[in-house]
Amino acid sequence: MQKVAIIGASGFTGAELLRICASHPEFEIIAATGDSQAGTAVADLYPSLAGVYPDLTYVPYTDDLVDDADLVFLGLPHGASQAIVPQLRGRAKHIVDLAADFRLDDPGLYPTWYGEPHVAPELLDDFQYGLPEFFRNDIEGAELIAAPGCNVTTAALALGPAVKAGMVEPRGMVVDLATGVSGAGRPPKPHTTFCAVDEDFTAYGLLTHRHTPEIEMAVGRYADADVQVIFTPHLAPMNRGILATCYARAVGAPSTDDVLNVMQDSYADEPFVVVSERSPSTKATLGSNSCHVTARVDERTGWVLMIAAIDNLQKGASGQAVQCANLAVGLPESTGLAVAGLYP
């Protein structure tokens, strides 16, 4: 059994980690922190978890909480992991960070895209980027893992195979993405209340969204290409889900079958990627760690269309973190994770 501590377990990603770990045959929760909810029972904050955690209570964070843990998940806001990872390292065998603190290769990108310098840049090279479909060999047995963002996961899985195969121009690609409100986190915000979100659909982060360089890094590293994207996310009136519609200029004259075949070949052995002619939908991935992808070639305009859908709290966050953790501790990567979505 792997003893697991979740630091920052009171947010949506933390709650999803608790839910997944409750049915994981090899993970045992020994601590769940939530400084803003310290003293609150997990079952009171999330009644959906009452049946599996009737006695678990959120506790304040201290470094020594992880001394008995084999595996630590960090579900903290951006910036918080940078401050504590130097103290946590060596106390637990494996650390999986769900925030963006250690995702980017270049520390110089943090002031530009995150508004402040990185406080532990010496650790960036020690973290493995946790997108198993692209970088599985790096994740296996890793001590430190940075799980990708939900937007990046969706866009990268859509774009990666065609870029790597040289079927599309890697620069000037367009990513239009719709995301559910849970991606904004549990604390209430003026733009995420029911009245603000219901029956609305709006773009945000125009030309400045912080996941832009991460998309370019993930696809570029996988495909060994100089990648450039324009990324526009949209807030959709749904709880969960991400749908990324991506466009790139064709190289040569590939057909739709050519691009789909490249996707099929790339993901043939992947337990969580479904390639199909069907147009992906967020509902089809709900509650699962799966990503559904498809592609079309528009011969009239010379553009290639690639679409992917995921559950942002599963494959986009907590599920992918568990997938990475399974690889790190030597378990089959699909252990404890759902492939089939919920419906209706």
Domain boundaries of the chain, sorted by first residue:
2-126, 151-312
In the structure encoding, which two tokens stand for residue 329, read together?
């501790």
- pLDDT bracket for residue 162 (50, 70, 90): very high
The alpha carbon dihedral of 38, 41, 45, 50 has a sign of positive
2-126 CATH: 3.40.50.720
Instruction: Collect contacts of 37-42 with beta carbons under 8 A, ≥24 apart.
Output: 37/10, 40/10, 42/9, 42/18
Mean per-residue pLDDT, 294-321: 98
The pLDDT-based confidence of 223 (bands split at 50, 70, 90) is very high
Token pair recorded at residue 1: 């059994």
Is residue 242 within 8 Å of residue 178, measured between CB atoms? Answer: yes
Integer Cα distance of 36 and 9 in angstroms: 10
Q: What is the mean pLDDT of residues 317-334?
A: 98
pLDDT digit string (tens) for 165-175?
A: 999 999 999 99
Torsion of CA 312, 25, 3, 331, to 10 degrees: -80
- Please give the pLDDT value at position 220: 98
Per-residue pLDDT averaged across 205-219, rounded?
A: 97
How much is the average pLDDT of 120-148?
98
Confidence of residue 116 (pLDDT cuts 50, 70, 90): very high
Task: Give the pLDDT confidence score for residue 182 in this predicted structure.
Answer: 94
- pLDDT of residue 190 exceeding 90, the answer is no
Active-site residue 150, yes or no? Answer: yes
* Cα 205–chain centre separation: 18
Q: Hey, CA dihedral for 40, 42, 43, 45, is it positive or negative? A: positive
Give the per-residue pLDDT at 187.
85
Strand 202-203 versus strand 229-235 pairing type: antiparallel
Q: What is the pTM of this model?
A: 0.97
CATH of 151-312, one of 3.40.50.300, 3.40.50.2030, 3.30.360.10, 3.90.1640.30: 3.30.360.10
Which residues, listed in sequence order, are joined to residue 144 by a DSSP beta bridge? 95
Q: Tell me the CA end-to-end span of the chain in Å, nearest whole number.
A: 34
Average per-residue pLDDT for the chain: 97
Q: For residue 13, is pLDDT > 90? A: yes
pLDDT of residue 322: 98
Determine the pLDDT at residue 208. 96
- Catalytic option among 150, 246, 291, 324: 150
Report the pLDDT value the prediction gives residue 315, as an integer from 0 to 100.
98
Res 186: pLDDT: 87
Give the pLDDT mean for 194-212: 96
pLDDT computed for residue 199 by the predictor? 96
Tens of pLDDT along 259-295?
999 999 999 999 999 999 999 999 999 999 999 999 9
Is the N-terminal amide bond of 344 cis, ω within 30° of 0? yes
Alpha-carbon distance of 235 to 183, in angstroms, equals 9
Q: What is the pLDDT of residue 34?
A: 95
SS (H, E, C) the chain: CEEEEEECCCCHHHHHHHHHHHCCCCEEEEEEECHHHCCCEHHHHCHHHCCCCCCCECECCCHHHHCCCCEEEECCCCCHHHHHHHHHECCECEEEECCCCCCCCCCCHHHHHHCCCCCCHHHHHHCEECCHHHHHHHHCCCCEEECCCHHHHHHHHHHHHHHHCCCECCCCEEEEEEECHHHHCCCCCHHHCHHHHCCCCEECCCCCCCCHHHHHHHHHHHHCCCCCEEEEEEECCCCCCEEEEEEEEECCCCCHHHHHHHHHHHCCCCCCEEECCCCCCHHHHCCCCCEEEEEEEECCCCEEEEEEEECCCHHHHHHHHHHHHHHHHCCCCCCCCCCCCCCC
pLDDT for 235 equals 97
CA–CA distance, 237 with 12 (Å, rounded to integer): 17
Q: pLDDT class for 188, splitting at 50, 70, 90?
A: confident
What angle in degrees, to the nearest 10, is found between the helix axes of 132-139 and 212-223? 70
Annotate 51-82 with b (16+ C-beta within 10 A) or e (fewer): eebeebbbbebeeebbeebbbbbbbbeebbbb
